[in-house]
Chain A
Amino acid sequence: MSAEITKTGEALPALDFGHAWEYAPSPEATDHVRIAPRHELFVGGAWRQPHSSRYFDTISPSTEQKLAEVAEADERDVDDAVQAARRAYDRYWSRMPGRERAKFIFRIARAIQEKARELAIVETMDGGKPIKESRDVDLPLAAAHFFYHAGWADKLDYAFQGRAWRPLGVAGQIIPWNFPLLMAAWKVAPALACGNTVVLKPAETTPLTALLLARIVEEAELPPGVVNVVTGAGATGAALAAHPGVDKVAFTGSTDVGKKIQRAVAGTKKKLTLELGGKAANIVFADAPIDQAIEGIVGGIYFNQGHVCCAGSRLLVEESVHDLVVRKLRDRMATLRLGDPLDKNTDVGAINSGAQLARIRELVAAGEEDGAERYSAPCALPGKGFWFAPTFFTGVAQSSRIAREEIFGPVLSILTFRTPEEALEKANNTMYGLSAGIWSDKGAKIFWMAQRLKAGVVWGNTYNKFDPSSPFGGYKESGFGREGGRQGLLAYTEVGQ
């Protein structure tokens, strides 16, 4: 690594993160994981071919190899699934005492823990995320969401200050590709706990773990039709959202699609929750624990290749420490290990799809055109698959596309501020409002900021922390409704006055 040159022309001391001691490859063994070559729809407790007899491929984004083919559900399949869910709601699930529902949900939670290794490997193969993340984040959290909501199932009479409540009926749930199993857990667990039945539509690039979840539901012997899984692309999701038999639509994904769904359900009796995009400010004050803030910046934007709706994609750094933070961030990025997602030492995996990679490239090109200065980590990209090196931009204008639009990739925009008021104004100056981070050693400053930030989740001296008991959701174009916690139960219940 060549020494950095200051403005006065003197060379700064530079750390060298080279190859003096290399880690050997450490791939997670996959020999015990068998992915079936073809996957059917899970409707009414049975595995069924789609009416159209059409299937689509799901590939590994790190190798571009086909993993399996998956049924493409059309309107007829969706109709079957909604009817199956309705029957299950009327016959079994809405009549079952909460303590009995809880037993089934606990079974699912335990089965996820028992199959955690297989699920983590399939998640990584299908979605491209590093195995250490699917193993240490996605799987434990998915199980935790089922455990947490199983606990609520027989206590709902106490959840709403004594007010009466009832389930909504059939929930149509459409989930994204960034945390496939975890988002399924966020949606399915509270719906089941509150007595609703479910039609789940996983993303077309990452359907496999939702189908494994359906297997777990089957093995847990839930009554047929309580959970249905229909696979397919946007048309399948649109059919589900528009189906008149659906009482509740829950969607996590892009703001564009969220708006379409909101239009589709307008004027109907359907309840809706949307968890959409974000452009979160991660705010670093000069009095922050800087070395730990660097970790929070890296985790905030490069975790899961930046495919995180609450990613800290706008770094607002106090101007007096800007150069220091950028210098340290560059050093830290030299140690990020990009490559085979199944390697246990991989920090940055593959971009989820070719389409997403194209979107990231387009926005990065826009950033360069706008005159921002780009830095990409010096890591070699594999020849096959979809990859993008961790990147940041300095000198980003608040008006630039890369400061305003969600990139949903490992690309950070760095802006500066001078006072807390200015940081607050810039942080809130966005159409989004999902999350924010504050780094300061002063508790009073953190609380002052947190009270004024228009964001559903605000982290202090940490980032990307999730817990099933903590409600998650957005302001403004980041959506509405909360998932997790007591507040999250409201998304799946009708509560009396």
Chain B
Amino acid sequence: MSSQNSTLSRYGSSARPAPYPLFYPPPPPVDQIAVEERVAALGKRSIKKGAKVAGLTLAVRMMDLTTLEGKDTPGKVRQMCAKARTPLAGDPSVPSCAAVCVYPNLVPTAKAELAGSGVKVASVATAFPSGQSPLDVKLSDVRRAVELGADEIDMVIDRGAMLAGDYAKVFDEIAATKEACGPAHLKVILETGELGSYDVVRKASEIGIAAGGDFIKTSTGKVQPAATPAVTLVMLEAIRDHFLATGRRIGMKPAGGVRTAKQALHYLVLVKETLGDAWLTPDLFRFGASALLNDVLMQLEKERTGVYQASEDFSKD
């Protein structure tokens, strides 16, 4: 990682001293065992009946329905947009999803398809998923996605720089990306599965927040493990400390690996009992998922009718 040789303009000098004052005091340490115990305990909350319906309905409203594949086509994206707009045809009690999340080339298709629906279009950018490109390429990626109509940008941090200890580079790239976003909301993907420890996740969360991210997000979905309840709790605690210090509310998005309604409710329990009521809204909490929606719909239909429907009763898009 030779930022010294880079010809790119960076925010601040590449020869700047270590970014210690910026992140002083250092983040509090995170105890792995105790964090995992806490999420396991919250995973035992019993969510039944009305609470289950309310929670799952909220989960639908919080969903960023996602397709991020090389084989994505306008047809595929149009189908997904229809699902996001009306997740369950014939049941108006099921709300629309929060957003769809696609690659930049498919933003115009999604934008046209969702016009007037209130469903946002999110685009990944910044050389997603690896982030291993020069900064000007990443920023141009962001600007083009916004020009094409993206309401939200999901960027990736430079994990190489993060792990090498070049926190200033990580910070500066996020800050530059935020500026390139203009009016679009910025979600900062930490790719926690590559960060190795909760302490690094905590530090990356603080950098993402300090550099201007509106949301912090666990994963691209391209790396395992993706979102876990424990890593989400660590990020929620960083968000909580930022709020307690500044009053500013940062959003959270676990993405990848959330496949079942039961898991979604577990995440909502984490939010409710860590950050409280203000975060129980799509403005501040999202699920990045593709398979999750149908399981949530199946559970909602089960609560409504008393019986489980076959999986074929739900459209696969």
Contacts and interface: CB of A to CB of B under 8 A. Distances in A.
Nearest to B278: A16
Contact of B35 (A15, A292, A335): A292
Nearest to B237: A291
Contacts of A334: 276
B244 A13 contact: yes
A94 B52 CA distance: 57
Give the interface SS of chain B, mostly helix, strand, loop or mixed: helix
A17 B38 contact: no
B34 A344 contact: no
B38 A19 contact: no
Contacts of A354: none
Interface string B268-306: 100011011110100000000000000000000000000
B49 A13 contact: no
A287 interface: yes
A42 B51 CA distance: 46
Interface string B27-62: 011110111011000001111111110110010000
B243 A292 contact: no
B4 interface: no
B77 to A, nearest CB: 32
Given A21-B51, A21-B268, A289-B31, A15 B46 contact: no
A327 B241 CA distance: 11
A334 B275 CA distance: 11
Interface in A5-48: 12-13, 15-26
B240 interface: yes
B45 A20 contact: no
A335 B33 CA distance: 21
Interface size class of A (residues with CB under 8 A): 20 to 34
B49 to A, nearest CB: 5
Give the interface SS of chain A, mostly helix, strand, loop or mixed: loop
Contacts of B49: 24
B272 A21 contact: yes
B5 interface: no
A20 B280 contact: yes
A369 B30 CA distance: 39
A20 to B, nearest CB: 4
Contact of B276 (A16, A136, A461): A16
19 contacts: A12-B244, A15-B275, A16-B277, A17-B272, A19-B277, A21-B54, A21-B277, A22-B54, A23-B47, A26-B47, A26-B48, A136-B44, A288-B28, A289-B29, A292-B34, A295-B37, A344-B45, A345-B45, A462-B34
Interface of A: 12-13, 15-26, 132, 136, 287-292, 295-296, 327, 334-335, 344-345, 441, 461-462
Given A24-B52, A327-B244, 4 more contacts: A18-B276, A24-B48, A344-B46, A461-B34
